[in-house]
Amino acid sequence: MAHEALVDRYRSGFPRGYTAITREGEPGLDTGIDFGIQVQTDGRMLQEWDPKESAWVLLDGEAEVRLGDESMVVTRRSVFDEPPSVLHLGPETWVEFRPRSPRVEWAVARASCGQRFRPQLWRGDEVGLEIRGRGLAQGACVRHVRAVIDPANRPESGLVLGEVVTWPGRWSSYPPHRHPQPAVYHFRFTLPQGFGHAELDEEVVKVRPHDTLKVMEHRSHAQVAAPGYGMYALWVMRHLRDHPMVEMEIETEHSWVLDSRTQGWEPR
């Protein structure tokens, strides 16, 4: 039986068009985020205007993005080996997406926003890469982190967004942590049979390709990839005005892992 926080009905992939996964204001486990996957095929152009702010993360393919008189081409072939191109739009902003490959896949996050702001496109080469966990806990929590939207670079946004690629057999979001903002995690794996496990306090949920996990406020969470399988997660967090995203609260009993001088027990 699936966990109520896990949306696992799209494991075979997403069809053409937009597939809604979470909705702001939904009756159960409301993260305050509209999240879904948009698939373009057969060269079908998409025009978008929405009263909410939105973030478009290119997962696969090549597309031309048109904002008024400005046109930009973005490309991505692997969420594991290439950084994302991300388009961030304020409310009531027209945009046009023209496919330049047979299939283009986007992850789309939206949230209510009380103000308008200028669009921003980050190309892959403009997104920084941070390798976290190196030199800690015998390398058991090494992962690549790509932070894109945060309060530092987009203080007007109601979203915080980034990606993490967890090495096979390693942990991410580790040590386990919590924060007062709800979040959404969307998963992909390097092979179709890949899997991992995600913690929600004392509960453990098995995640597979195309699954989405709702992490509600104040729930401690961490993830681990099964050996042999790289795990990609796109995370979107609601940046609440009364609870701004500043720092996460690490579980103190595991905080010793962050000290490189203490690697933990090793077998002899």
User: C-alpha distances in angstroms, 240 versus 28, 128, 148?
Assistant: 19, 24, 17
Q: Among residues 86, 68, 85, which one has the least CA distance to residue 76?
A: 85
Mean pLDDT of 36-62: 96
Sign of CA dihedral 9, 12, 16, 22: positive
Is the pLDDT confidence value at 252 over 80?
Answer: yes
DSSP 139: G
Contact 52, 91 (CB under 8 A): yes
Q: Name residue, tokens 């104040």.
A: 218
The region of weakest confidence among 47-51, 130-134, 243-247 is 243-247
Domains of the chain: 13-240 (2.60.120.10)
Which residues make beta-bridge pairs with 38? Answer: 18, 106
Tally of residues, the chain: 268
Is the pLDDT confidence value at 75 over 70?
Answer: yes
C-alpha distance across the termini of the chain, in Å: 40
Q: Name residue, tokens 């909705």.
A: 23
Q: What is the dihedral of CA 59, 60, 61, 64, to 10 degrees?
A: 0
* Cα(103)–Cα(61) distance, integer angstroms: 6
Q: Which amino acid is at 195?
A: F
Mean pLDDT of 17-43: 96
For 60, the 3-state DSSP assignment is strand
Q: Which pLDDT belongs to residue 155?
A: 87
CB atoms within 10 A of CB 254: 15
Mean pLDDT of 39-68: 96
Q: Name residue, tokens 């409301």.
A: 30
More confident residue, 158 or 22: 22
For 121, the 3-state DSSP assignment is strand
Q: Which pLDDT belongs to residue 142?
A: 96
* Cα(32)–Cα(244) distance, integer angstroms: 14
Q: Which pLDDT belongs to residue 68?
A: 87
Mean pLDDT of 133-139: 95
Contact 76, 85 (CB under 8 A): yes
Q: Which pLDDT belongs to residue 243?
A: 63
Over pLDDT 70: what percentage of the chain? 97
Exposed (0-12), middle (13-18) or buried (19+): which is 14, by Cβ within 10 Å? middle
Sign of CA dihedral 26, 27, 32, 36: negative
More confident residue, 215 or 244: 215
C-alpha R_g of the chain:
18
DSSP 228: T
The region of weakest confidence among 32-46, 58-72, 133-147, 238-252 is 238-252
Q: Which pLDDT belongs to residue 1?
A: 59
Mean pLDDT of 37-54: 95
CB atoms within 10 A of CB 36: 21
**pTM for the full model?**
0.96
Q: Which pLDDT belongs to residue 115?
A: 84
Is the pLDDT confidence value at 103 over 90?
Answer: yes
Q: Which pLDDT belongs to residue 245?
A: 61
User: C-alpha distances in angstroms, 164 versus 2, 83, 179, 213?
Assistant: 24, 10, 18, 14
Q: Which pLDDT belongs to residue 242?
A: 65
**Mean pLDDT of the chain, nearest integer:** 94
DSSP 125: G
